[in-house]
């Protein structure tokens, strides 16, 4: 499935607008990002972040180094602009790029203070700026540990994991600068991370591969939940890396996106076939084919008590035992995120039907998280089908499309009470571990 234009950091400005459209009115303003730091200029946010991250590593590094003390960055911090480019890194001349990086030879961190950082802050909040710095500082930590013999994608995920470990420390109240971090701020930062990722179709074994957003958010969440010691154990054999290259000529040409009508058909056939097989495993009962009704917003099918998502644009109707979706709204999400946004929505409706049919709740945070895991279990099945040429398969970018749609529709400020952070974790649990992981 799929069809993205190539995305690079250079296109961040354009892409940022696209993502914000999806967040609708639920995005919290940047001024709410970290309580007391309400409206600081980006440069000050960077400085506060770097000194707090230094504080964190001074306390934490001995736990991953067998007691060795931490040596802070020696080569300084270097904001740069187009007219004042970054310092040279070893033999490499400093050239302006809308980017942030760590230079091991000079032991310094440099960042685009003109475009990248101000844009990230105004669109996604101060926390994302701090997480970008924590990621770069993570590379400095790796350099101190002498970790260099890992593929780039492992080093990148480890830096994301270290950033998550810092975030957990700040959330625990240890930071003097980043206080009162809310689930909504974290969801904003995750939405921003969707931009800071590889272009779909990058092989995880490419020298420069950073990982897709699905994998990078996993690594960040791992750091938040399990801390720096867990991150320090990362290597090429113990990370679930879902990033895949395009394997079909057609996918590479279209970016992997099926045309809308074909995407809807393919997805409905596939998810129906999946539950015909999986529902008996889950319940011991046979699966009855589910009726699906696309509708025009002016003539939605009657349903006395719909179990709705996407602001009512899609729902399962318990009374009639059918699912229905606003065709225009679904098409808009397809245009915005790609074909697997359709998969995310229709998969969610099927998972709701599963829960109702087996007498389980879809309400509140735990109900939503159960739905997300079941929805992810279908993707697990897609990922484990081998390579028959007629099989529906995921293409590069599909998992990121699902995460993008999920964040756009279900954020911390949404109805269910589940944060995007928790929903992504539940969805990923299903994707990586399959049906048996969802209870
Ligand atoms: Zn990096």
Q: How many whole angstroms from 65 Cα to the centroid of ligand 1?
A: 21
pLDDT value of residue 268: 96
Please tell me the distance between residue 429's alpha carbon and the centre of ligand 1 in angstroms.
25
Q: Collapsing DSSP states into helix, strand and coil, what is residue 95?
A: coil
Per-residue tokens: 256: 């992997």
Which of the four pLDDT bands, split at 50, 70 and 90, describes residue 5? very low
In the DSSP assignment, the letter for residue 224 is H
Strands 314-317 and 100-103: unpaired
In the predicted structure, residue 19 carries a pLDDT above the cut 90: no
Average pLDDT over residues 106-114: 96
* Contact status, residue 323 vs residue 348, Cβ threshold 8 Å: no
For the ranges 175-184, 188-197, 353-362, the one whose mean pLDDT is highest: 353-362
Beta-carbon count within 10 A of 54 CB: 15
Instruction: Please report the pLDDT score of residue 206 as a whole number.
Output: 58
Q: How far is the CA of 414 from the centre of ligand 1 (A)?
A: 31
**377-436 pLDDT tens trace:** 999 998 887 665 566 777 767 888 888 888 888 765 566 678 899 999 999 999 999 999
Mean pLDDT (the chain, rounded):
84
Is the pLDDT score of 34 beyond 80? Answer: no
Rounded to the nearest whole angstrom, what is the distance from the C-alpha of residue 434 to the centroid of ligand 1?
30
- pLDDT greater than 80 at residue 363: yes
| Measured distance CA(428)–CA(424) in Å, rounded | 6
Across 94-121, average pLDDT? 93
Report the length, in residues, of the chain.
439
Summarised one tens digit per residue, pLDDT across range 311-346 is: 889 999 999 999 999 999 999 999 988 888 999 999
Across 93-105, average pLDDT: 91
Q: Where are the beta strands (DSSP E) in 205-321?
A: 291-295, 307-309, 314-317
C-alpha 243 to ligand 1 mean position (Å): 16
71 CA → ligand 1 middle, Å:
20
Distance from residue 101's CA to the centre of ligand 1 (Å) = 7
Tens-place pLDDT, residues 162-186? 999 999 999 999 999 999 999 999 9
Cα of 210 vs centre of ligand 1, distance in Å, is: 7
For residue 57, report the distance from its CA to the centre of ligand 1, in Å: 17
CA of 134 to the centre of ligand 1 (A): 10
The Å distance, Cα 133 to ligand 1 centre, comes to 10
| CB 223, CB 162: distance < 8 Å | yes
Q: According to the model, what pLDDT value does residue 343 have?
A: 93
Q: Residue 61 burial (CB < 10 Å; 0-12/13-18/19+)?
A: buried
251 pLDDT tier (thresholds 50, 70, 90): low
Beta-sheet strand order (sheet of 77-80): 77-80, 108-112, 100-103
CA of 433 to the centre of ligand 1 (A): 27
Taking residues 111-130, report their average pLDDT: 94
Identify the residue with better confidence: 385 or 49. Answer: 49
- Label residue 268 left, alpha or beta by phi (over 0 means left) and psi (-120 to 50 means alpha): alpha
CA of 211 to the centre of ligand 1 (A): 10
pLDDT of residue 23: 24
Distance 196 CA to ligand 1 centre (A): 10
Structure tokens at 8: 């690079």
According to the model, what pLDDT value does residue 398 have?
83
In order of 54, 159, 226, 239, 433, the CA distances from 230 in angstroms are 19, 12, 6, 11, 20
As a whole number of angstroms, the distance between CA 89 and CA 91 comes to 6
Cα separation of 24 and 377, whole Å? 28
Euclidean distance between CA atoms 14 and 145, whole angstroms = 38
- Going by C-alpha positions, the residue among 18, 32, 56, 54 that lies closest to residue 227 is 56
Going from the Cα of 258 to the center of ligand 1, the distance in angstroms, rounded, reads 32
Q: Report the separation in Å between the CA atom of 15 and the middle of ligand 1, taken as the mean of its atom positions.
A: 20
Give the distance (Å) from ligand 1 centre to CA of residue 251.
27
What's the confidence (pLDDT) of residue 392?
A: 73
242 pLDDT tier (thresholds 50, 70, 90): confident
Q: Strand pairing of 100-103 and 108-112?
A: antiparallel
> Which DSSP state fits 108?
E
Dist. CA 132 → ligand 1 center (Å): 9
How big, in percent rounded to 5, are the helix, strand and coil portions of the chain? 55, 5, 40
Q: Specify the pairing of strand 322-326 against strand 291-295.
A: parallel
Give distance in angstroms: CA of 293 to centre of ligand 1.
Answer: 45
Element (H, E) at 325: strand 322-326
Q: Determine the distance separating the centroid of ligand 1 and the alpha carbon of 209, expressed in angstroms.
A: 10
The predicted pLDDT at position 10 comes to: 23
Q: Could you tell me which residues come within 8 angstroms of residue 61 by beta carbon, excluding any fewer than 6 positions away?
A: 68, 69, 70, 141, 144
CA of 139 to the centre of ligand 1 (A): 7
Domain limits, the chain: 9-232, 251-437
The Å distance, Cα 348 to ligand 1 centre, comes to 33
Measured in angstroms, how far is the CA atom of residue 110 from the centroid of ligand 1? 12
C-alpha 97 to ligand 1 mean position (Å)? 14
pLDDT class of 203 with cuts at 50, 70, 90: low
Distance (Å, rounded) from C-alpha 247 to C-alpha 11? 25
In this predicted structure, the answer to whether residue 272 has a pLDDT above a threshold of 80 is yes
The answer on pLDDT for 224 being more than 90 is yes
CB 301, CB 317: distance < 8 Å: yes
Query: Ligand 1 mean position to 215 CA, how many Å?
Result: 13
Rg (CA), the chain: 22
What pLDDT is stored for residue 147 in this prediction?
Answer: 87
Q: How far is the CA of 159 from the centre of ligand 1 (A)?
A: 6
Residue 136 Cα to ligand 1 middle (Å):
6
Average pLDDT over residues 354-361: 97
What are the phi and psi torsion angles at 125 (to 5°)? Answer: 100, 165
Hey, what are 96's tokens?
């302006």
* CB-count exposure of residue 366 (10 Å: 0-12, 13-18, 19+): middle
The alpha carbon of 137 and the centre of ligand 1 are apart by a number of angstroms equal to 9
Average pLDDT over residues 357-377: 95
205: confidence class by pLDDT, cuts 50, 70, 90: low
């Amino acid at each position: 499935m799929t069809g993205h234009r190539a995305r690079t950091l250079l296109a961040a400005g354009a892409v940022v607008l696209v993502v914000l459209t999806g967040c609708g009115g639920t995005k919290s303003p940047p001024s709410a990002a970290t309580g007391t730091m309400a409206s600081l200029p980006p440069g000050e946010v960077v400085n506060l972040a770097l000194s707090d991250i230094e504080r964190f590593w001074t306390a934490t590094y001995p736990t991953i180094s067998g007691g060795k003390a931490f040596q802070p960055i020696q080569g300084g911090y270097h904001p740069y602009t187009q007219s004042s480019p970054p310092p040279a890194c070893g033999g490499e001349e400093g050239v302006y790029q809308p980017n942030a990086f760590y230079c091991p030879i000079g032991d310094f961190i440099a960042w685009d203070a003109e475009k990248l950082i101000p844009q990230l802050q105004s669109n996604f909040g101060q926390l994302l700026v701090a997480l970008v710095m924590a990621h770069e500082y993570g590379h400095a930590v790796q350099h101190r540990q002498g970790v260099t013999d890992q593929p780039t994608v492992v080093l990148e995920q480890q830096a994301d994991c270290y950033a998550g470990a810092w975030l957990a420390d700040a959330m625990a109240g240890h930071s003097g600068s980043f206080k009162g971090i809310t689930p909504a701020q974290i969801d904003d930062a995750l939405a921003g991370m969707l931009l800071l990722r590889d272009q779909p179709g990058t092989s995880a074994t490419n020298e420069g591969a950073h990982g897709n957003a699905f994998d990078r958010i996993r690594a960040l969440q791992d750091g938040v939940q399990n801390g720096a010691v867990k991150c320090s154990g990362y290597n090429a054999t113990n990370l679930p890396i879902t990033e895949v290259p395009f394997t079909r000529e057609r996918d590479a040409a279209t970016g992997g996106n099926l045309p809308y009508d074909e995407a809807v058909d393919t997805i409905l056939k596939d998810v129906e076939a999946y539950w015909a097989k999986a529902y008996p495993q889950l319940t011991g009962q046979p699966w009855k084919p589910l009726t699906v009704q696309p509708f025009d917003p002016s003539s939605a099918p009657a349903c006395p008590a719909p179990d709705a998502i996407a602001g009512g644009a899609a729902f399962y109707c318990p009374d009639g035992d059918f699912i229905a979706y606003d065709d225009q709204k679904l098409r808009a999400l397809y245009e915005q995120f790609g074909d697997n946004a359709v998969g995310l929505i229709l998969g969610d409706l099927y998972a709701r039907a599963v829960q109702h049919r087996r007498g389980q709740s879809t309400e509140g945070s735990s109900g939503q998280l159960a739905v997300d895991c079941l929805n992810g279990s279908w993707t697990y099945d897609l990922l484990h089908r081998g390579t028959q040429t007629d099989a529906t398969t995921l293409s590069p970018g599909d998992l990121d499309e699902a995460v993008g749609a999920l964040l756009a529709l279900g954020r911390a400020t949404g109805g269910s009470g589940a944060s995007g952070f928790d929903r992504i974790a539940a969805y990923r649990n299903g994707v990586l571990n399959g049906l048996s992981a969802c209870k």
